[in-house]
Structure 1
Amino acid sequence: MITPRFSCSQTADSVVVSIYCPSIRAADADINVDETLLTVHINPYFLRLNFSHPLLEDDASSANYDPSTGYLTVTLTKENKGQEFTDLDVLAKLLAPRPSVPAPIIEVLASTEVVSSTDVSPQEDLAEKTQKLSLDQERQEILKAAENDWQLPQEVPQPAFNISAQKHYGFLDMHSGYFKHVTHTENEVNELGGEAETCTLKERRQKRIKHEDEKWDEEYYMADFADDAYIQELLSWEHPHIAARADAFEYTEEENLKMLQLPRKEYLSTPTQTHDLYLILITILFSYAYESRTTQHDPTPESAWTICSLTPAFSALDPPKSSLSGFSTNLQEFTAQELVTTLVPSYRRSLAFPLYRSFILAEACRKDIARLLIAGKRVIVRCLLELKQILDHHEVYYVYSKIWLDDFCTWVLAYADDDVLSRLGKLLLELKVHKNALGWDVEGLEAATKECFERESDSDDESTDESSSE
């Protein structure tokens, strides 16, 4: 089935869905409304939309097809007239499946008959158990019981072993097998080598930290600290998504087409997993903020490499986990300690890998993340779509879009909470990431560079005085 292009609008009393389905027989259209769910089937097109509030199919509803334009216009009545339907322009959210209804939990509060366990004979207990067996199994069980003085044989349960060495990774650990032949590709950002499919999370983290320490170059950092003219230009730049007015936000047609191609899944994440997703989002947005600042929002052929290199969840398959000590016990809240722990790998990588290595540049990226989060999930999805655009067009790094960004775009639109994002952004604005948290002597290197400058300055002054006295 083909998902058609569509758009939604609303009036005070109704919702209007405009569907592009050229060259069809309008009489064959099958339109159904089930509370918040609308389904439209007309061969070869199928569309299922899940709205935020219930709709009705009454006398005021209609469906009209214009063969000259190829558009089918479906008008449905709001159950509560005057109610505002939100996110009608967020197509991926409308396409997301309706959340599953959890099975009811049945609790037995009382029983009309209470039988004491002392009143049940071994024979009666055996009969009760064997009733649940098939006829053949029942006969075999009775024979075994008779041979064993009418006591059912018991065996110690064997522990379950995972015989597969393959590990899962990516969004909610849903993916595997993408790096089976990684050694035969030109994946320069992969830090796990041929063990990408078998490394445990602990091993991934160890490899990541080791690689960062190996790439850390003190002289490179001191040189950028000493000559920071271009970095100062980068710091004065303001991201257009942050500067834009929130009330003027509207997705472009190209962005809507990209969202139509996103996976339509229901993500049944636990509270801990949801908490982790917000932390992972911070690290992805850090890479986005760095790449945007250093290219002035104009991607280059190196942008894909920069994004993947700066994101631990990409290059080392090592996302932040809230199970680390000191993390918040309230999964809807975030502590300063866990945010610092989350950001430290991004800071380290920004000082060890890319072209411009500056702590104050990393700090500017942190503030960019905070403002993007405060702007809300619509702006965040726009940023993620831009990252997808960059990675999808790379012949190797597209894999990170498949295992992370596709699902993240859908999840942010359908499940992320704007209130949580806003609180998280405000915390990041006030956060203090100290240089000594990086594990490198950044403060000592900066002090040595300043001292060297002062000596050169004093030497220049003395030479100037000597020349003037002559």
Structure 2
Amino acid sequence: MITPRFTCSQTEESLIISIYCPSVRATDVEIHVDETLVSIHINPYFLRLNFSYPLLEDDTSSAKYDPSSGYLTVTLTKENKGQVFDDLDLLAKLLAPRPSAPRPIIEVVSESAEQSEERTEEDDLVAQTKAMSLEREEILLAAENDWQLPQEALEPQLSTSVQKYYGFLDMHSGYFRHVTHTENEVNELGADAEICTAAERRRKRLQREDKKWDEEHYMADFADDEYIRELLAWRHPHAEYKEGFKYTDEENAVILRLPRKEYLPTPTQTHNLYLTLLTVLFSYAYESRTNQHDPTPESAWTLSILVPAFSALDPPDAPASIADPLVFSTGELAGTFVTSYRRSLAFPLYRSFVLAEACRKDVAQFLSRGKRIVVRCLLEMKKILDHHEVYYVYSKVWLDDFCVWVQAYASEDILVGLGKQVAELKISKSSINWRLEALEAATQEVEDRESDSDDEDSDDSASVLR
């Protein structure tokens, strides 16, 4: 089935779905409304949308097809007149599956000894058979009516396999199985990318950062900072507030091709996703600021190398025990940005602490604008990586799911709150562990001596002339 292009709008009493499905027979359209779930089928197109409030298919509802434009317009009645349906422009949220209903929990309080003795192996076998039949019937019924299967979040299990998972919610594997045969200059794990444990990934990442750190490069950029000052003065267009935000047709087309999954992260995993998002946005901020929002052939490399979850498959993680998974301490936010700062000072062309500070402030601006701007940043990253013959894998294992998760599941309030916290962060140079203050002082001392020497030469020349 093909997912068609569509838009949604509303009036006081109705919700209107406009679907582009050219060259179809209007008599074949099938519309099913189940409270908040709307399914529309007109061969070869199928659209299933999950709204925040219930709808009705009554006498005032209608479906009209315009063969000249190719648009099918479906008008459905709101169950509660005057109710405002939010986020109709967030297509990934509308396309996301309906949340799975929790299964009932049955507890056996007590059982007498006689009843226990009467339970025979045959009874157990019959009970197991019935349970399997009911479960199979439930799955088939779900697949027939809603095209969704029951899902539940599983607790981490002891793994005896050397294969390790990575990416968004550790859902991916196999993308780096043949990494030695590709020109992946980002991968810091080498041929062991598929089998490295989390601790090994972090150790290799830190070793790689320390090895790539170049004191002379940093001092040179600190001394000759004319171009960096130009970069600092530049304003990112996404940091400016604009009324009437609207995704472009190209952006909506990409969103329609994103995976449609129901994500069931644990509270700790959700906490870690927000932290990882900060590092991804920092990479985007650095890349777009250093080329002033005009991507270059090096953009895919820059975007990938600056994200530890890409280059070393090492996303930030929260402490083992956190009081509230939706509350972020200043310490862990600072620690997350220290990693991004280190990478921006060790790998790309321009290595400047004040430039890293400007990128952090950009991240704060993106977050303060809400999920729509955040998704636009992610879509721009995805477009760059998707067109690279090697680094597209980072789009597959991270950005595709991140675009859906931010639109459909991330909290607008949490994103805005994170923006305020990030804006107020204070990152010390000493936390980078690379003697930045000493290097800057030494560079400044050399410049001062050269300046004094130039002044003395100038005075000597003037005395000779006299």
Matched, 1:243 2:240: yes
The whole-number CA distance in structure 2 between the counterparts of 1:258 and 1:389 is 9
Superposed displacement of residue 323, structure 1: 2.5
Quick one: structure 1 residues 66 and 294, their matched pair in 2 at CA, closer, same or farther if it must change by over 3 Å? same
2:69 alignment partner in structure 1: 69
Aligned to 2:169: 172
**Aligned equivalents of 2:4, 2:33: Cα separation in 1:** 18
- Find the residue that maps to 2:104 and give its secondary structure: coil
* 1:173 CA displacement: 0.1
- CA deviations on 1:197-218 (whole Å, 9 max, x unpaired) are 0000000000000000000000
Say if 2:241 and 2:369, in contact at 8 Å, map to a contact too.
no
Q: Which residue matches 1:81? A: 81
Question: Distance between the aligned counterparts of 1:328 and 1:271, measured in 2?
Answer: 10
Percent of matched pairs sharing the same residue: 68
With over 3 angstroms needed to count, the CA separation of the structure-2 counterparts of 1:216 and 1:68, relative to structure 1, is same
Structure 1 position 194 matched with structure 2 position 191: yes
Q: Which amino acid aligns with 2:272?
A: D
CA distance in 2 between partners of 1:51 and 1:281 (Å): 26
Answer yes or no: is 1:206 the counterpart of 2:203.
yes
Return the match for 1:344 from 320, 323, 338: 338
* Aligned residue number for residue 406 of structure 1: 400
Q: 1:146: which partner in 2?
A: none
Give the aligned partner of residue 377 of structure 2: 383
For residues 241-280 of structure 1, what are the structure 2 equivalents within 5 Å? 241-245=238-242, 247-280=243-276
**Equivalent residue for 2:354, pick from 336, 353, 360:** 360
Per the alignment, residue 180 of structure 2 pairs with: 183
Q: Describe the SS at the equivalent of 1:8.
A: strand
Q: Give the equivalent residue in structure 2 for 1:318.
A: 314
Give, in whole Å, the separation in 1 of the partners of 2:163 and 2:445: 52
1:282-321 → structure 2 map (5 Å cutoff): 282-321=278-317
Taking a change above 3 Å as real, the CA distance of residues 294 and 251 of structure 1, as seen in their structure-2 partners, is same
1:138 maps to none
Give the secondary structure class of the aligned counterpart of 2:73: strand
Secondary structure of 1:410's counterpart equals: helix
Q: Secondary structure at the match of 2:63?
A: strand
In 2, Cα distance between equivalents of 1:302 and 1:52:
42
- Contact kept, 8 Å, 1:169 with 1:176, in 2: the verdict is yes
1:384-431 deviations in Å (ceiling 9; x for gaps)? 000000000000000000000000000000001011011111011110
- Is the CA contact 1:285–1:369 (under 8 Å) kept in the aligned structure 2? yes
* Structure-2 residue corresponding to 1:128: 119
The 1-side partners of 2:125 and 2:202 are apart by 51
Say which SS state the counterpart of residue 52 (structure 1) adopts: coil
TM-score, normalised relative to structure 1: 0.89
Task: Give 2:423's aligned amino acid.
Answer: L
Shift of 1:439: 1.4
Q: 1:454 aligns with which of 429, 442, 448?
A: 448
1:225 aligns with 2:222: yes
Matching residue's letter, 1:409: C
Contact kept, 8 Å, 2:272 with 2:317, in 1: the verdict is yes
Task: State the 1:328 CA deviation.
Answer: 4.6
Q: Give the gaps of 5 or more residues in structure 1.
A: 136-159
Q: Which amino acid aligns with 1:182?
A: V
Moved over 4 A (4+): 124-127, 131-135
Are 1:55 and 2:49 matched, yes or no?
no
> What does residue 469 of structure 1 align with?
463
Residues in 2 aligned to 1:411 and 1:254: alpha-carbon distance in whole angstroms: 19
Contact 1:51 1:94 in 2 (8 A): yes
State the shift of 1:91 in Å.
1.3
Partner of 1:143: none
Equivalents in 2 of 1:181, 1:103: separation in Å? 41
Q: Does 1:12 align with 2:12?
A: yes
**Cα distance in 1 for residues equivalent to 2:35 and 2:201:** 46
| 2:34 paired with 1:40 | no
Deviations, residues 118-169 of structure 1 (Å, cap 9, x unaligned): xx48xx855536454449xxxxxxxxxxxxxxxxxxxxxxxx9634211000
Q: What CA deviation, in whole Å up to 9, does each residue of 1:60-117 have, x standing for no partner?
A: 1101111122111100011111111111111111111111111133456x77xx74xx
Aligned equivalents of 2:387, 2:34: Cα separation in 1: 40
Gap regions ≥5 residues in structure 2 = 127-156
Between the aligned partners of 1:79 and 1:340, the Cα distance in structure 2 is 47
* CA distance in structure 1 between the aligned counterparts of 2:53 and 2:23, rounded to whole angstroms: 32
Q: Distance in 2 between matches of 1:467 and 1:45?
A: 84
The separation in 2 between residues aligned to 1:161 and 1:49, in whole angstroms, is 38
Secondary structure of residue in 2 paired with 1:9 = strand
Aligned residues: 435
Q: Distance in 2 between matches of 1:268 and 1:161?
A: 20
Please list the CA deviations of residues 326-374 of structure 1 after superposition, one character each: whole Å capped at 9, or x if unmatched: x852111111100011111110010000000000000000000011001
CA contact (8 A) 2:31 2:40 kept: yes
SS at match of 2:119: helix
Give yes or no for contact 1:328–1:334 (8 Å, CA) kept in 2. Answer: no
Any idea what SS the aligned residue of 2:354 has? helix
For the Cα contact (< 8 Å) 1:351–1:359, is it kept in 2? yes
